[in-house]
């Protein structure tokens, strides 16, 4: 049940049960003074509790388990691995409607030809006219056909359909569970390049579990590789689960899948209503959905006939849940694929250092797509030294000249600045005052169009003051945000339409698509914005990418900052030049000699990754060690440090040799949303060692006296150390 307590509770079997008790069924049980819904996660002959203290299950809600056993096993395992209450893990993983006791949303059955049926020769049915009639009916319709449709063909259709199903030509699905299959026309698959063909062959040859790292530059045809592997999985009558970092940003991807495969596809992401989520979950679990595409939580999709798991952009930090149960969908995918005995493909142009190391050590099979599919080679990257070329409103002369040159040549231009708002700082030059968030250790960002100062950490806003609150001097915006940069670009290129894409301009539903479409139709030739632009979009006519501020994050304090920075550079640079248009990338920097920039530009991401891994090894950071981060926060500082001190003392007491306890320390941004935050880091030589240590320590933490005065959480394999 969704109780925030650790552990599993024992109950006696109900007095009267119809049919077997199965793991994955929901039950109603007495709990405290009331009753709660719970999940049956296992059975045992003897409880540690005396029999008179055991209470009895009141009723069993489901005839069939709602979850396949592999999924439940994964959740039980993950609750332990992440040291999180199983009840909350189940809640996070399953549709709300199921937690509220609703049944699966099965719709009316309907029938369609299988891939085999579509390519079959109907001549084989010459002697079975009833089957032939049904076959032709199914072949003529683009969507699955209902019983009513088949009644109209012949009254004996049920037998004919059963015979066709026995041949493997027909599949049954449940119509209402999914929106109708979009009929957007077939897509002629391209002839694979030799590298792609090699990758597809290796993945398709995998029998059982194997993890592949598909390491291919942007535009090298990774998606095409997924599609070919999925094609084979479909032909074998199995399902494919495809994880993507963000669906809202990639409607093109879905279209590409639908174009290639006219089969039911279930979408699972955070934007669904409860009903839609339940239908998608049902369609995955009863096999209606042949392909399931979703974000992080789609790793919990139940699969009736699993065949393949893909995690695209596997390096993306959004695979890690950052609050509540802090799981990594990418890491769970590895566990689940092994459990299901299916291949897993992790794809990226900038693989995480964890995956690079796993490939190097031979745990993963690395498949490389070194070049783009089109004629265009890799973009040429140049640095613009901001010490030599002063920027005005963020733009230097060489960058302006390059933009003009590319526009004149008919290309499109993408300008990247990962900072929204007008200016990150509003200050008073007279007294030096900088306007800060009253609730965070952070500056307020000026949003000129809205006339607001906003804190990007706690979300608080207030109107822009007319003058300095201290000395009544005139306030001056310092630095660049996308809003200001848009203005500067509009001034420099008055006859160009500019599309700005950031969280402020794309709040309305469908707005991203409208803006991207104007770019694709070439109504706008200058495209600018934040990180959102780096997420998988294909801009075939962008020939120039300008990175306004390469120094943002160059000196970050987190051990992952270099990796993140390299990934976003390479991802954004990868938008330059696709198909037949060669590309150019310019980076504006004050530190053209910085080793990270030098290596990335002259040697590329793979070489960067090798060097960065060497540094990680020497410094003892992941993937060469395993981390767990204990965070605590409270409205005052004292209880935070008291709790963390106690936690540290316990850890030092219980820790085996080789497990380091680092801290406690205050979080890099100590005060956020009015709360003081501190943390304690555990660093272990291996996963095993950490896993052996955590349960006992966590149990002890739950007894620490100051725990009630703080909010605390444990993050196993944290991606951010704050
Ligand atoms: P990635 O996922 O690596 O960015 P895509 O699979 O999206 O790459 O491929 C990039 C572009 O190249 C797409 O427009 C795709 O249709 C095209 N493409 C992929 N493979 C081939 C191929 N073998 N021949 C021609 N074009 C291809
Ligand atoms: Zn704030």
In tens, the pLDDT along 358-400 reads 999 999 999 999 888 776 677 889 999 999 999 999 999 999 9
Same domain, 402 and 521: yes
Same domain, 528 and 603: yes
Which of the pair, 649 or 122, is modelled with greater confidence?
649
Residues 531/418, Cβ–Cβ less than 8 Å: yes
Q: Which of 368-377, 666-675, 700-709 has the lowest mean pLDDT?
A: 368-377
Cβ–Cβ under 8 Å, residues 345 and 310? yes
Answer yes or no: do 238 and 360 share one domain. Answer: yes
The CB of 677 under 6 Å from ligand 1? The reply is no
Among candidates 216, 210, 215, 204, which has minimal Cα distance to 363? 210
For residue 12, give the DSSP letter.
Answer: B
Token code pair at residue 317: 């930090």
Q: CB within 5 A of ion ligand 2: which residues? A: 437, 439-440, 455, 457-458
CA dihedral 181, 187, 190, 195 (to 10 degrees): -10
CATH number at residue 79: 3.40.1440.60
CB-based contacts of 523, cutoff 8 Å, min separation 6: 497
Are 628 and 719 in contact by the 8 Å Cβ rule? The answer is no
CA of residue 221 to ligand 1 center, whole Å: 4
Collapsed DSSP state (helix, strand, coil) of residue 547: strand
Rounded to the nearest angstrom, the distance between the alpha carbon of 442 and the centre of ligand 2 is 6
Q: Is 585 domain-assigned?
A: yes
- Rounded to 5, what percent of the chain is helix, strand, coil? 35, 20, 45
Q: Residue 39 has what pLDDT?
A: 82
Reported as a single tens digit per residue, the pLDDT across 24-38 is 888 888 888 888 888
| Candidate from 235-239, 362-366, 530-534, 585-589 with smallest mean pLDDT | 530-534
Name the region of 450 (left: φ>0; alpha: ψ -120 to 50; beta: rest): alpha
Shortest-distance Cα residue to atom 19 of ligand 1: 221
Q: Is residue 439 part of a domain?
A: no
pLDDT of residue 1: 43
Which of 231, 242, 373 gets mutated to test ligand 1 (max ligand atoms within 8 A of its CB)?
373
Domain co-membership, 208 together with 239: yes
DSSP H helices, 584-685, are 595-603, 605-619, 637-654
> Given a cut of 70, is residue 278 above it in pLDDT?
yes
For range 61-88, the mean pLDDT: 90
Cβ neighbours of residue 86 under 8 Å, at least 6 residues apart?
Answer: 6, 7, 8, 41, 75, 76, 79
The predicted-structure confidence for 612-668, as pLDDT tens digits, reads as follows: 999 999 999 999 999 999 999 999 999 999 999 999 999 999 988 889 999 999 998
Contact residues for 69 (Cβ-Cβ < 8 A; gap 6+): 23, 24
Centre of ligand 2 from the C-alpha of residue 469, in Å: 18
Domain, as residue range, for 659: 626-716
Ligand 1 mean position, distance from CA 215 (Å)? 14
Using an 8 Å Cβ cutoff, are 659 and 681 in contact? no
In this predicted structure, what is the pLDDT of residue 395?
97
What separation in Å is there between the alpha carbon of 385 and the centre of ligand 2? 34
Q: Is residue 454 within a helix (H) or strand (E), and if so which, with residue range?
A: strand 452-454
First to last CA, the chain: 31
> What are the tokens at 611?
């060097």
Can you give the pLDDT at residue 429? Answer: 93
- CA dist 502 → 35, 76, 420, 554 (Å): 47, 39, 7, 22
| Cα–Cα distance for residue pair 184/189, rounded to 1 Å | 15
E strands, 100-238, are 109-113, 145-146, 170-174, 210-216
Task: Tell me: do 198 and 113 sit in the same domain.
Answer: no
The DSSP bridge partners found for residue 367 are 214
Q: Is 496 helix (H, G, I), strand (E, B) or coil?
A: coil
Ligand 1, atom 11, residue with closest C-alpha: 219
281-312 per-position pLDDT tens digit = 989 988 889 999 999 999 999 999 999 999 99
Judge contact between 330 and 319, C-beta under 8 A.
Answer: yes
Which of 81, 99, 117 is the last residue before a domain boundary? 99
91 and 214 both lie in a single domain: no
Among residues 615, 635, 654, the one where a domain terminates is 615
Q: What average pLDDT does the segment 103-116 reach?
A: 77
The three-state secondary structure class of 478 is strand
Q: Based on the fold, state whether residues 335 and 200 are members of the same structural domain.
A: yes
What is the number of structural domains in the chain? 5
623 preceded by a cis bond (ω within 30 of 0): yes
Share of the chain above pLDDT 70, in %: 94
Nearest-angstrom CA–CA distance, 714 and 324: 9
598-622 tens-digit pLDDT: 999 899 999 999 999 999 999 999 9
Closest Cα partner for 437 from 669, 639, 666?
Answer: 669
Structure tokens at 127: 């002697």
645 lines ligand 1 (CB under 6 A): no
Residue 6's pLDDT is 60
CA dist 270 and 318 (Å) reads 12
- Are 534 and 397 within one domain? yes
User: Three-class SS of residue 531?
Assistant: helix
The bound ligand whose nearest atom lies closest to the alpha carbon of 671 is 2
The pTM score is: 0.87
Write down which residue in 39, 69, 99 finishes a domain: 99
Q: What is the pLDDT of residue 3?
A: 52
Q: Given this model, what pLDDT does residue 185 score?
A: 65
- Residue 636 inside a domain? The answer is yes
* Ligand 1 lined by 373 (C-beta under 6 Å): yes
Q: 462 in a domain, yes or no?
A: no
Across 68-72, 94-98, 497-501, 535-539, least confident range: 535-539
DSSP letter at 268 equals E
Nearest-atom index, ligand 1, CA of 191: 23
Q: Is residue 118 part of a domain?
A: yes
Which string of DSSP letters, residue by residue, matches 26-72? EEEEEETTEEEEEE-----S--SS-GGG--B--EE--SS-SS-HHHH
The reported pLDDT for the residue numbered 52 is 79
**What's the full length of the chain, in residues?**
722
Nearest-angstrom CA–CA distance, 225 and 307:
15
8 A C-beta contact, residue 545 and residue 253 = no
pLDDT band with cut points at 50, 70 and 90 for residue 18: low
The pLDDT-based confidence of 180 (bands split at 50, 70, 90) is low
CB of residue 190 inside a 6 A radius of ligand 1:
yes
Whether the CB-CB separation of 146 and 172 falls below 8 Å is answered with no
Q: Which residues pair with 619 in a beta bridge?
A: none
Q: Residue 257, SS3?
A: helix
CA dihedral 483, 720, 249, 545 (to 10 degrees): 50
Residue 510 is predicted with a pLDDT of: 82
CA distance 712 to 722: 13
Give the range among 6-15, 172-181, 628-637 with minimum mean pLDDT.
172-181
193 lines ligand 1 (CB under 6 A): yes
Q: How far is CA 397 from the centre of its chain?
A: 38
Q: Write phi, then psi, for 332 (nearest 5 degrees).
A: -65, -30
Q: Look at residue 468 and tell me if it is in a domain.
A: no
Would the CB of 641 count as within 6 Å of ligand 1? no
Both 521 and 557 in one domain: the answer is: yes
203 and 310 in a single domain? The answer is: yes
Give pLDDT, residue 98: 84
Do β-strands 145-146 and 109-113 pair in parallel, antiparallel, or remain unpaired? antiparallel
Q: Per DSSP, what are the bridge partners of residue 369?
A: 216
The strands making up 291-294's β-sheet, listed across from edge to edge, are 265-268, 291-294, 239-243, 306-312, 343-348, 210-216, 365-369
pLDDT tens-digit profile of 401-439?
A: 999 999 999 999 999 999 999 999 999 999 999 999 999
Q: What is the mean pLDDT of the chain?
A: 89
Residues 396 and 515 reside in one and the same domain:
yes
Joined tokens for residue 328: 């990594």
Counting ligands in written order, which one lies closest to the CA of residue 459? Answer: 2
The neighbour count for residue 474, using CB atoms within 10 Å, is 11
Contact (Cβ atoms closer than 8 angstroms) between residue 88 and residue 39? no
**Residue 464 located in a structural domain:** no
Residues 651 and 610 in one domain: no
- If you count DSSP H runs as helices and E runs as strands, how many of each does the chain have, helices first? 21, 28
CATH label of the domain that carries residue 538: 3.40.50.300
Model pLDDT, residue 2: 45
Indicate whether residue 536 lines ligand 1 (CB < 6 A).
no
């Amino acid at each position: 049940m969704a109780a925030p307590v650790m552990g599993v509770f024992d109950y006696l079997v109900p007095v009267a049960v119809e049919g077997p008790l199965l793991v994955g069924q929901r039950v109603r049980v007495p709990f405290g003074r009331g009753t709660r819904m719970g999940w049956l996660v296992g059975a045992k002959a003897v409880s540690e509790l005396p029999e008179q203290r055991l209470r009895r299950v009141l009723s069993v809600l489901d005839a069939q388990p709602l979850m396949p056993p592999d999924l439940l096993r994964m959740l039980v395992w993950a609750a332990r691995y992440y040291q999180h209450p199983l009840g909350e893990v189940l809640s996070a993983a399953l549709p709300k409607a199921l937690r509220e006791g609703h049944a699966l949303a099965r719709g009316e059955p309907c029938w369609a030809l299988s891939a085999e049926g579509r390519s079959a020769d109907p001549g084989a049915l010459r002697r079975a006219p009833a089957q032939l009639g049904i076959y032709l009916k199914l072949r003529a319709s683009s969507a699955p056909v209902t019983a009513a449709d088949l009644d109209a063909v012949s009254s004996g259709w049920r037998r004919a359909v059963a015979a066709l199903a026995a041949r493997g030509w027909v599949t049954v699905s449940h119509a209402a569970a999914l929106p109708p299959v979009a009929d957007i026309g077939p897509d002629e698959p391209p002839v694979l390049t030799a590298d792609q063909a090699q990758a597809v062959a290796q993945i398709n040859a995998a029998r059982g579990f194997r993890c592949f790292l598909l390491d291919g530059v942007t535009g090298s045809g990774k998606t095409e590789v997924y599609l070919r592997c999925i094609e084979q999985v479909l032909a074998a009558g199995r399902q494919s689960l495809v994880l993507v970092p963000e669906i809202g940003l990639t409607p093109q991807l879905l279209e590409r899948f639908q174009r290639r495969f006219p089969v039911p596809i279930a979408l699972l992401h955070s934007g669904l209503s409860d009903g839609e989520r339940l239908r998608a979950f049902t369609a995955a679990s009863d096999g209606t959905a042949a392909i399931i595409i979703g974000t992080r939580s789609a790793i919990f999709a139940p699969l009736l006939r699993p065949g393949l798991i893909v995690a695209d952009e596997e390096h993306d930090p959004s695979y890690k849940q950052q609050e509540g149960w802090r799981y990594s969908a990418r890491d769970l995918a590895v566990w689940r694929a092994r459990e299901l005995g299916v291949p897993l493909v992790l794809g990226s142009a900038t693989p995480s250092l964890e995956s690079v190391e796993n490939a190097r050590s031979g745990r993963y099979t690395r498949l490389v797509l070194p070049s783009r599919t089109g004629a265009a080679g890799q973009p040429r990257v140049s640095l613009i030294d901001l010490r030599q070329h002063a920027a005005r409103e963020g733009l230097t002369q060489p960058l302006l000249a390059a933009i003009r040159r590319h526009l004149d040549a008919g290309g499109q231009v993408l300008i990247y600045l990962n900072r929204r708002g007008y200016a990150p700082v509003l200050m008073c030059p007279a007294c030096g005052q900088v306007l800060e968030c009253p609730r965070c250790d952070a500056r307020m960002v000026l949003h000129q169009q809205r006339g607001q100062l906003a804190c990007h950490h706690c979300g608080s806003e207030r109107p822009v003051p007319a003058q300095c609150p201290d000395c009544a001097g005139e306030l001056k915006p310092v630095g660049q945000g996308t809003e200001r940069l848009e203005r500067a670009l509009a001034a420099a290129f008055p006859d160009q339409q500019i599309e700005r894409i950031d969280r402020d301009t794309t709040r309305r539903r469908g707005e991203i698509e409208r803006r991207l479409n104007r770019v694709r139709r070439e109504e706008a030739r200058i495209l600018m914005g934040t990180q959102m632009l780096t997420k998988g979009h294909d801009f075939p006519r962008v020939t120039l990418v300008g990175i306004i501020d390469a120094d943002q994050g160059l000196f970050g304090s987190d051990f992952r900052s270099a990796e993140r920075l390299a990934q976003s550079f390479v991802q954004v640079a990868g938008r330059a030049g696709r198909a037949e248009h060669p590309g150019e990338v310019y980076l504006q920097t004050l530190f053209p000699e910085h080793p990270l920039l030098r290596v990335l530009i002259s040697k590329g991401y793979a070489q960067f990754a090798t060097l960065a891994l060497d540094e990680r090894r020497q410094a003892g950071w992941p993937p060469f060690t395993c981390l767990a981060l204990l965070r605590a926060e409270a409205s005052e500082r004292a209880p935070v440090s008291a709790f963390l001190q106690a936690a540290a003392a316990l850890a030092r007491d219980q820790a085996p040799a080789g497990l380091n306890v680092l801290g406690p320390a205050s979080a890099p941004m100590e005060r956020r949303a009015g709360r003081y935050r501190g943390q304690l880091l555990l660093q272990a030589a291996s996963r095993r060692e950490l896993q052996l240590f955590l349960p006992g320590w966590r149990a002890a933490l739950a007894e620490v006296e100051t725990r009630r005065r703080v909010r605390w959480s444990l993050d196993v394999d944290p991606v951010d150390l704050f």
